[in-house]
Amino acid sequence: MTRILFAWVGQADLNAENEGKDGPILAALLDATLALDSVWLSASWSAERVSAYVAWLTSRAPHARIVTRTTTLTQPNAFTEIYRHASAVVAEAIGEEGKEPELFFHLSPGTPVMASVWLLLATSRFPAELLESSAAGKTNRVAKPFNLPAQILPDLLHEPDQRLRTASAERPAVASTFGEIVYRSDVMKRVIALAIKAAPRNVPLLIEGESGTGKELLARAVQMASPRSDKPMVVVNCGAIPENLVESRLFGHKRGSFTGAESDQKGCFEEADGGTLFLDEIGELPLPAQVALLRALEQGEITRIGENRIRKVNVRLIAATNRDLSIETRERRFREDLFYRLAVLRIRLPALREREGDVDLLVDHAMQRINQEMAKDPLYHPKALGPEAKKTLSVHPWRGNVRELYNTMRRAMVWSDNEVLGKDDVLNALIDGPSGSGDDPILGRPLGPSCHLDGILSEVAEHYIRRALDAAGDNKTRAAKLIGFSSYQRLDAHRLKLGI
C-alpha cells in the first residue's frame, strides 16, 4: 500500500537548509518507521522559494516522490481557502493513486489553522494518521484528541446549512422580476408575453401548472411589474391551513370568537390591502371557504369572524394551483362561479418536459447559482459539469420540474468530491419518483360504481389537447401534429365533443 504524506510548507522547512537542520517535512520523509513513498506539499510562498526548497528536499530524500501544489491565500488563517485547497489536494492524490493509499497529515508545518484543517479532514472526510515534530526534531504520531466534527462542525456549518435549507425550498426572492425567469423555449416566451400583459391589469389572475414549475416566481414577477409593486404581496399557501382556520386566515377574527382567539387578528385580505394577495394551491380550499372567498372577490368587502363590521379591501388577487380547475369544477370539487371569477386572466405554466431547449440553460444557471450559494461553505469547493453528466440531466423526465432539477443539482454538487461532475454523480443525486399504476392519479383509480371509464378517457383527452394547444400557441395544425392527429379537423372534432 502506498504511503502518502501531506503537509503545508512552513517557515521552519524553508529555513532548514540554512540552519543545518532537517525541518518537519524532511524529518518525516527520513523516518524509516513511517516508510513514506511520496509527499504532496501545499504552499502559499513565492514560486522561487518553493522551487528552491523542493530541489533541496529532493536531494536529501531521493526515494520519495514530491508533488507540489501552490495556492494564494488572502490571509494566513483563511480557514475556508485552506480547507478547500487541502481537501482538493488529498482528493487529487487519492484519485491519481487509483487504489486506497495510507494517508499521513503533518500538523507541525504551517499555521495553527492549517493544522486544524488537517485534524478536521482526518476525522471526517479522509481517515489519516496525524504526525507532529518534537522539540528534538523527531516525528511522532498523534492520537486524535477528540471528535472534532461533532464539536466544531455544527457551529462552522450553521450559516452555510441555513443558506442551503433556504435555497432548497426554491422560494423566489421577494423582488423577483421577469428577468430572473430562465428560458429560451417558444412555449415559455408565450407565457412570459401573456404575464407581461397581465401585470398592469387590476383583475384576478389564475396561474396553473404542475408542482415545481415556478408559479410563485411568475406571480412575484407579475406583481413587481404591476402598479402595485411598491405595495405588499402577501403569500398564503391554502393547502397548509387547517380547515377550521381557513376563514380566520383569510378574513381575520375578533377576540373570543372561537377557542384560541385570544386577540383581534387581521386576515390576509387586510394584510394585503392596497397590494397583491397570492393564494397558492387554491384548489385545496374547502367548499365553505370558497363561498366566502367568492363573496370577498365580488364585493371587495370582508367581515372578520365574530364581528358584524364590513371592511372594504382593495386587493389584486393572484391564485395558483397544480390542479386542473376545469376538471375540478366539472367533478364538483371546486365551485364553478369561483373558478370563472378567478380566471379572468389565466396562464398555464408548462412542465419542464414541454420546454424544449430549456433544460440545458437551466442546468448552466443552476451550476452558477449553487456555486455562488455555497461560496462561503468551508466544506465545499466550486464544481463544473462534465458532458456525460449534462447529457444525463438533459434526458431526465423531471417530474418535479424546475424545483426537482435545482435540488438534484444541489445534491450532486454537495455530495461529490469531484471538481467536474460525472454521470455517476448525477445518477446518485436523482430521486426516483412514484412508479406503478397504484400511484398514478389516472391509472390508479379504484374500480367500482364510482369508476366511469368514459369520463376518465375524456379527462385524458382534454388534458393532452389543452397541452398541445398551449405548446403550439393555439395553432391547430401544429397542435394536431403534437398529439398524432392527421389533421386539425380531427382536433376540432374532439374539441367540440369535449366542449373545449
| Shared domain check, 254 and 145 | no
Chain segment 131-152, per-residue pLDDT in tens: 999 888 899 998 765 444 444 4
Boundary of a domain, candidates 300, 329, 349: 349
What pLDDT score does 1 carry?
80
| Shared domain check, 208 and 141 | no
Q: Judge whether 377 lies within some domain.
A: no
H-helix or E-strand spanning residue 5: strand 3-8
φ, ψ (nearest 5 deg) of residue 370: -70, -40
- Specify the DSSP class assigned to residue 213: S
What pLDDT score does 137 carry?
84
Number of independent structural domains in the chain: 3
SS3 category, 129 = strand
What pLDDT score does 236 carry?
95
Q: Judge whether 360 lies within some domain.
A: no
Boundary of a domain, candidates 349, 370, 385: 349
| Shared domain check, 137 and 62 | yes
Q: Judge whether 223 lies within some domain.
A: yes
Those residues with Cβ within 8 angstroms of residue 451's Cβ, 6 or more apart along the chain or in another chain? 445
Q: How many whole angstroms separate alpha carbon 354 and alpha carbon 186?
A: 10
Boundary of a domain, candidates 152, 178, 206: 152
pLDDT in tens, the chain (500 residues): 889 999 999 999 999 988 888 999 999 999 999 999 999 999 999 999 999 999 999 999 999 999 999 999 988 888 888 888 998 899 889 888 767 799 999 999 998 889 888 988 887 778 899 999 988 889 999 876 544 444 444 445 455 556 555 555 555 555 567 888 999 899 999 999 999 999 999 999 999 999 999 999 999 999 999 999 999 899 999 989 988 889 899 998 888 888 888 888 899 999 999 999 999 999 999 998 999 899 899 989 999 998 889 999 999 999 999 988 888 898 888 999 999 999 999 999 999 988 888 999 999 999 998 888 887 776 677 889 999 999 889 888 888 999 999 999 999 988 888 889 999 999 999 876 444 333 455 665 666 665 678 778 888 888 888 888 877 878 888 888 888 888 888 988 888 888 88
Note the pTM of the prediction, 2 decimals: 0.60
What pLDDT score does 386 carry?
92
Task: Name which of 476, 469, 470, 473 is nearest 490 in CA terms.
Answer: 476
| Shared domain check, 339 and 193 | yes
Chain segment 22-44, per-residue pLDDT in tens: 999 999 999 999 999 999 999 99
Write out the residue range of the structural domain in which residue 493 sits. Answer: 437-498
| Shared domain check, 209 and 75 | no
- Specify the DSSP class assigned to residue 404: H
Q: Judge whether 325 lies within some domain.
A: yes
DSSP string, 258-306: STT--S-EE-HHHHTTTSEEEEETGGGS-HHHHHHHHHHHHHSEE--BT
Q: How many whole angstroms separate alpha carbon 466 and alpha carbon 455?
A: 16
Orientation angle between helical segments 112-122 and 79-97, nearest 10 degrees? 50
Q: Where residue 254 sits, what CATH number does that domain have? A: 3.40.50.300
What pLDDT score does 155 carry?
47
Q: Judge whether 367 lies within some domain.
A: no
| Shared domain check, 203 and 109 | no
Q: Judge whether 291 lies within some domain.
A: yes
Q: Judge whether 256 lies within some domain.
A: yes
| Shared domain check, 344 and 217 | yes
Q: How many whole angstroms separate alpha carbon 339 and alpha carbon 251?
A: 20
- Specify the DSSP class assigned to residue 438: G
| Shared domain check, 91 and 40 | yes
| Shared domain check, 337 and 249 | yes
| Shared domain check, 216 and 80 | no
Q: Where residue 471 sits, what CATH number does that domain have? A: 1.10.10
Q: Judge whether 112 lies within some domain.
A: yes
What are residue 316's DSSP bridge partners? 276
| Shared domain check, 331 and 195 | yes
CA-based Rg of the chain, rounded to a whole angstrom? 31
| Shared domain check, 291 and 232 | yes
